[in-house]
């Protein structure tokens, strides 16, 4: 994956090239005042990051630890007295 960092002014002038490179080479980073501000992604890369198949709930459902039984029973022993 070949990414490139663009200054905002260059990105404005070469937006078509940035889009082409994002589609063929990978994410393109755009900086403003020397600080990275945005990333231009291809739709293919974006779809990998988006969607219900990548939700946190789905992650836990498909985790290798999903079949582990947890003991969630509350301890019924009385609490201890604390002097305040």
82: pLDDT strictly greater than 80 = yes
Rounded to two decimals, the pTM is 0.58
Half-sphere exposure of 57 (CA within 13 A, CB side): 2
How far is Cα 39 from Cα 2, in angstroms, rounded to an integer?
14
CATH 3.40.50.720 corresponds to the domain 5-61: no
29: pLDDT strictly greater than 70 = yes
Region of poorest pLDDT, from 4-8, 18-22, 47-51, 52-56? 52-56
> Domain extents for the chain?
5-61
Confidence grade of residue 23 (pLDDT, cut at 50, 70, 90): very high
């Amino acid at each position: 994956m070949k990414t490139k960092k663009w200054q905002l002014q260059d990105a404005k002038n070469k937006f078509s090239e940035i889009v082409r490179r994002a589609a063929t080479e990978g994410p393109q980073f755009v900086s403003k005042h020397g600080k990275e501000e945005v990333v231009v992604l291809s739709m293919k890369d974006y779809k990998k990051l988006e969607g219900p198949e990548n939700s946190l709930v789905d992650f836990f459902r498909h985790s290798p630890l999903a079949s582990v039984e947890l003991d969630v029973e509350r301890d019924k022993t009385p609490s201890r007295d604390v002097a305040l």
